[in-house]
Structure formats: structure tokens, C-alpha cells
Structure 1
Amino acid sequence: MNGGPSGFHNAPVTKTIVIATALFTIPFGIRGNSSKLGLAYQDIFEKLRIWRLISSIFAFSSTPELIFGLCLLYYFRVFERQIGSNKYAVFVTFSVLVPLLFEILALGYLKDYLDKLTPGPYSLIFASFVPFFFDIPISSRFRIITVHLSNKSLIYLAGLQLLFSSGKQSLVPGLCGVLAGCFYRFNTFGIRRCKFPDALASIFSRMTWPSSSSSTQNSSSDGNVERIPSYSSHQRDVNQQEETVPMLPQPSEASLTTLMSMGFDRNSAMQALLLTRDDLNAATNLLLEAQSH
């Protein structure tokens, strides 16, 4: 599946989270202390080890979980591009703190059955599956033997692998994340209207090293850094391509219908599909990003 343009263009918050997750996980894994990172009943209700709260948010307990987790975090950067870094930072904060409260309550009420939770940004990852389910369209379907799949199936399979990687110890954080994602989706407490101040959101771009592909792009006034060129410039690029390359692959009617059902006019949908060579996901991302300018 395509999550939009490669790299962390216009996604500094995601980039910071990915780097922090890797930096927290690798040192503990090398020392063989990864099994001690999870949030446990004793850490919260008896010994009050606050540092366990931080490690439980960022550090995975195993290499396979780290690989699957980072791949999913990297893919879900598309949501930061859609809503902007200011609002995405609110989504991240909400998707970490609310599930953390639920996890503490679960440890307190289920202490006889659940004494520890697996560490890692499970809550953020599985909260992101809610907008993934509702907002990312299916662009293709296929069948393997008798099983019907779509272009979104690989992401779901990676999520299931991560969700059940440690049994009930990973299932609880994952479900808490889904619950938080639903709260955000349905605008509980008006959370979707909130956004981080521009100055605070720009900190994320300074915390991560610049990439060569984004160094020439400027921050926009709404706090989103590393924005891609505006859609109007893409339209001019398409016109130039039409002059130099007379035969471009024509967008399928099904892709046009899907984009138009999302509220985009036919001409904009046609231009986006021409630019992305009939890649429905990439065209959707392009139109949503242009709409946010």
C-alpha cells in the first residue's frame, strides 16, 4: 500500500515518534532488559515507578514488534498530512493519555488475571486504525484461493500480528487505543477542534534532523512544516506533462466515482488521478493536502 509521498514530508510529529520509539527500544533490547519495560500493577499501585509510564509508551519489548510497529507508524503518517501537524499532535496526545488511563484502570480491576502490559506505542497505533478504517478508501480488490482481500488487507494483517503478539498483555493496550480512536473520531469533548499552538508544533520539526528532500520547503502559517507544493502547482505540472507526454494513462471511472463520492469535483479528481497515474490512495492524499492549504 502507498501512504503518500515517501519519507517524512509534512510529517514531523510522526518522524519524532518513530525516532523516539527506536531510541527507547534498541538500548533496552541490547541490554536484555526489554522484558522489564511493560507497565505492571506493582509499578503503579505499590512502588510508583513513574519512569515505567514513559517506557511503556515508547519502547517495544521485541524486535518483531518494533519492526511491525515502526512500519505501521510510518504508514499512518498520512493522517498527519491530512489534518496538519498541529491537530495531529493533539491526536497523538489524546491517543496516548486516554488509553494510559484505561490501562491503569484495567491493571487495578484485573490484577488477578492481568499483572503486566506489554510496552510500546500500541495505543497510538491502534487509535490510528479508526481513521484508517473510515477515511482511507479501498482502491483494489483481489482474491487468494477463496479469501477476498483488498489493498488495505496488509495493514490490517500487520495490526493483527501486533495486537496478538503478546496475548492479553498486548490485546488490552490495543483495544484501549481503538477506544480512544473512536472517542476522537466522534469528537468526544470537542477534541477535534483543538490544536497545538504554531510555536509548540514547530518544535517537532527542530527535534528531528532535516532531510534533503524537505530542506527547501517552508513552514506554513498553520504550523505544518515540510508541506508539499500546493495543488495548483501540481495542476500546472500536469499541464506541462500533457504537453510533453501526449499519452497519459487515463483515470478509471471507478476511481473518479470514488473521489467524487468523497466530495471532490470531477475536474480536481481527474487532475489528481492523472498526476498520480490512477493511484487512488495517492490521489486522495493529494486532494486532502491541497484542501488543507
Structure 2
Amino acid sequence: MWQLNSASGFYKAPVCKCILGASFLSSVLINFPLSQYRHLCVYHHSLIVEKLQLWRLLTARIAFLNVKDLMIGSILFYYFRTFERRYGSRKFASQLIGFFVFGSVLELSAVHVCKLMHFNMEPLPSGPLCLIYPFFVPYFMDIPRIELGNVLGIPMTGKSFQYFLGLQVASGSLETLIVAFCGIISGILWRKNFLKIQQLIVIPSVIAGTVYKVFGRFIDSAEPKDYVLPMGATLELQRQERMDQIERQVLLQSIREQGPPYNPNQNGPGLFGAMDDAEDFAEINEGLRQRNVPAADPPSQEQIQQLVDMGFTEESVRRALLMSHNDLNTATNFLLQES
């Protein structure tokens, strides 16, 4: 059986490492030993617009003043580090700058409109939420939706947990809802290349190279080493079972669409109502035999290296390419689901 190996930590994600580390450290300091300086991180519309305290646009993004937002925001930003591996650190950092610009303009405009409508507005939530919510756009568009089961009749997918965390923060107040909505709009505008923003905001390679030479040894993370947990490791077994289920679903879906009829009444025991392994793989093998599907060609070294450069281990890359019949996009989606 394949082992579940995925790129972990901040390997090939130095920008996320720096931002998350700085945000977490500053949030802890500003909420506890340096609480007398909390007022400097308040995201107050009137002070920014009327008194031109534009520096607050930066200080209000540094630290979370709400502990719940700190924990959930850190989890989401850590998960979205997969996009830095996918885009590259330079393009990812340029994207964050674009999110900051769009988010700041949209948030201040939204608060101004709400005040014109006589809403009683509190300061907007502090913290780098404007860098987090835009990533729900590529997350929704690019990461495949794979159903894992049902809870009280509600379908649950591998993406449900992240959506739940995002909604948890956004539903806190009108102000957090505004920030979340503006963040999603920012993600859409960047994706649509509104006002040619992707060409306007590009970090020069000279600057990127200089920063890496100076700080690279401090922000680089070591390549994760493959390891196998003992059989009694419950978490690893659960993750392995989940990935096995995903692999079976992909193969069975292919057979349903192109092969012999599929009988939905063959569901048996399993964590997510999966069929028994013997019945499951018997159907797969029979479907492949009737379709005369030849064995997949081994992946090329160029394909392997391209995905390894994104931060994934070679073993997991080979497995993903075999599962996807050497399709790079499908293989990347498999790997992102593992991360």
C-alpha cells in the first residue's frame, strides 16, 4: 500500500513563513506584554481617512487584536502556503501586494458607504485578513472538490473545513463580514487581472534575489524527509484511509463514465461508506479489463522535477503522476489535497 507522504512545514514557502511568523509574534506581543500599544494597531476608518493616518493601513495588518481571529487566520494562512509552492515565492509576494492594495481600497470604500447609510460602524478587524480571504478564490476554482461523506445529510468534502473556518471569522460582525467580502472581491479582481494589476505589481528579480541572499539562510526550511509512522499511529491511518478512498473514487468515476455500468447498491462498510476492498478493486480491475486500458507510461524525469521543485517529495510526485496518467494538472491537484 502506498504511504502518505506530502510536503510539510514551510519548505519552499519562505514568504508564508515570514508573514505568519511575524503576524503571530506581533499579535502575542501586542495583546499581552505590549498591550499599551494596542491603539496603534486599531483599523479605524475615521483616523485613516479624516486624519490621514495612512500608516495604520500597515500597522493594522501586522497583528490580530482578536485571539480567535489569530488562531483561525494562522491556520488558514498556513494551509494556503500551497499556493506559494504552486506560483513561486516571487509571484506569490507580488500577489499579496495586489491583495493589500485592492483590499485597502475596497474596505475603506465599503465602510464609507455604510456610514452614508447610517450604519453604526466599529473599527474593522485587525490582522492580515485581507491577505487570507482572497485565496478562497483560487482555492474554490483550482482545488478539486472531492466528496468524503455526509454529516446530517450535508455533503462534506476535503475543502469543507477551510470554508468553515473562513465563515467562522466572517460571521463575527458586520465589520468582519465586510473584510471577508472585500477580500474575496480582491481575489476575483486579481484573477481577472483588473487594470492589468498583474503586470503593474511585479517584484523585480534583482530585489527578490538580493533579499534571498541576505535573509535566505534564516527563512529557508529544510526539505521534509520521508518517514513511516508505526501501524498504531491513528492519525496516519486515518489520513491513509482518506487518500485510499479518494483514489478509489477517482478510478471508479472513470469507470462509471467510460466503462461498464456501476451498481450504486454495492456500498458496504467503511469510514465513508466505501465498498469492501475486494469488491471495490474487483470492479476496478474488471472495468479496466473490459476497456482494454494499457498500463500507463512511467512519468518523465522532467515532469517529476517540475513537481519536486514545487516542494513535494519525489515519492509522492511519482505516485500522483501514476494516478493521473502523467497529467501535470491532475497530479498537482492530488498533491495539494495531500498537503
**How far apart, CA to CA, are the structure 2 residues paired with 1:136 and 1:85?**
19
- Aligned match of 1:254: 250
Matched ranges for 1:139-150 at <5 A: 139-150=146-157
Per mean C-alpha deviation after superposition, the further-off stretch among 22-31 and 130-139 is: 22-31
Q: 1:178 aligns with which of 169, 181, 184?
A: 184
Matched ranges for 1:41-190 at <5 A: 41-111=45-115, 112-113=118-119, 114-165=121-172, 167-190=173-196
Per mean C-alpha deviation after superposition, the further-off stretch among 25-34 and 95-104 is: 25-34
CA offsets per residue over residues 11-51 of structure 1, 9 Å max, x none? 11111111221132111101445864332132113333233
8 Å Cα contact 2:6/2:335 also seen in 1: no
1:108 Cα deviation from its structure 2 partner: 2.6
8 Å Cα contact 1:87/1:192 also seen in 2: no
3-state SS, counterpart of residue 50 of structure 1: coil
**How far apart, CA to CA, are the structure 2 residues paired with 1:175 and 1:3?**
35
CA offsets per residue over residues 70-120 of structure 1, 9 Å max, x none? 111111011111111121111100111111011122233323422421111
8 Å Cα contact 1:59/1:119 also seen in 2: yes
3-state SS, counterpart of residue 149 of structure 1: strand
Name the larger-Rg structure: 2
CA offsets per residue over residues 212-238 of structure 1, 9 Å max, x none? 6149xxxxxxxxxxxxxxxxxxxxxxx
TM-score in terms of structure 2 length? 0.62
1:191 Cα deviation from its structure 2 partner: 3.2
Kindly tell me: are residues 110 and 145 of structure 1, through their superposed partners in 2, closer, same or farther at Cα, counting changes over 3 Å? closer
Kindly tell me: are residues 56 and 257 of structure 1, through their superposed partners in 2, closer, same or farther at Cα, counting changes over 3 Å? farther
Per mean C-alpha deviation after superposition, the further-off stretch among 16-25 and 76-85 is: 16-25
- Aligned match of 1:274: 319
8 Å Cα contact 2:12/2:221 also seen in 1: no
Q: 2:222 aligns with which of 213, 234, 245?
A: 213
8 Å Cα contact 2:144/2:333 also seen in 1: no
8 Å Cα contact 2:320/2:332 also seen in 1: no
**How far apart, CA to CA, are the structure 2 residues paired with 1:133 and 1:70?**
19
- Aligned match of 2:11: 9
**How far apart, CA to CA, are the structure 1 residues paired with 2:165 and 2:108?**
26
Kindly tell me: are residues 48 and 150 of structure 1, through their superposed partners in 2, closer, same or farther at Cα, counting changes over 3 Å? same
3-state SS, counterpart of residue 110 of structure 1: helix
Counterpart of 1:64 in structure 2: which amino acid?
A: K
Counterpart of 2:188 in structure 1: which amino acid?
A: C
Kindly tell me: are residues 140 and 283 of structure 1, through their superposed partners in 2, closer, same or farther at Cα, counting changes over 3 Å? farther
Counterpart of 2:175 in structure 1: which amino acid?
A: Q
TM-score in terms of structure 1 length? 0.71
Per mean C-alpha deviation after superposition, the further-off stretch among 27-36 and 179-188 is: 27-36
1:189 Cα deviation from its structure 2 partner: 2.5
Structure 2: give runs of 5+ residues left out of the alignment. Answer: 225-243, 255-295, 305-315
Structure 1: give runs of 5+ residues left out of the alignment. Answer: 216-248, 259-265, 289-293
Counterpart of 1:55 in structure 2: which amino acid?
A: T
1:204 Cα deviation from its structure 2 partner: 5.9
8 Å Cα contact 1:25/1:34 also seen in 2: no
3-state SS, counterpart of residue 49 of structure 1: coil
3-state SS, counterpart of residue 88 of structure 1: helix
CA offsets per residue over residues 121-178 of structure 1, 9 Å max, x none? 111111000000001112342111211110100010011112123x011111111110
Kindly tell me: are residues 88 and 254 of structure 1, through their superposed partners in 2, closer, same or farther at Cα, counting changes over 3 Å? same
- Aligned match of 1:229: none
